[in-house]
Amino acid sequence: MRLSFIILLFLVLSNNTFSPQYLIWLAPFVAFLSHAEAGLFIGASVLTWTYFRYWGDVVILSPMATSLLIVRNIFLIVLFLIALYKLLKEAMTRVI
C-alpha cells in the first residue's frame, strides 16, 4: 500500500499541472498512513480547497494565494519524503 501511495504521490508532484481532484486519488491511502502523514495530507487538502475556493477561477499572483500554494507543495513534498523514508526503513528491517 505504501509503495502505491508513494508512486501516485510522486506522479502528482511531478506533473506539470495540479488539479484538486488529484488529491482525491490519494485519499483512500490516508487510512494506511500514520497520524503525522494524515495530518500533512489533510493540511494540503485544506490549503488546496482554500486556494481554489477563493482564487482558483482566475490567475492571481497575490502574496496570499502564492503562499497557500507554496505551503501546500511543501506539505506534499514532506509527506512524500516521510512515506519514502518509512518504506525504506521497513524494507531494511525485512532484509536484516
Please give the residue range of the domain that contains residue 43.
Answer: 2-95
* Total number of domains in the chain: 1
Exposed e or buried b per residue across 73-90, where buried means at least 16 C-beta atoms within 10 angstroms of its C-beta: eebbeebbeebbeeeeee
The pLDDT tens digits of the residues spanning 25-59 come to: 999 999 999 999 999 999 999 999 998 888 876 66
Q: How many CB atoms lie within 10 A of CB 35?
A: 7
pLDDT of residue 96: 67
pLDDT of residue 59: 66
8 vs 94: CA distance, rounded Å: 24
Length, in residues, of the chain: 96
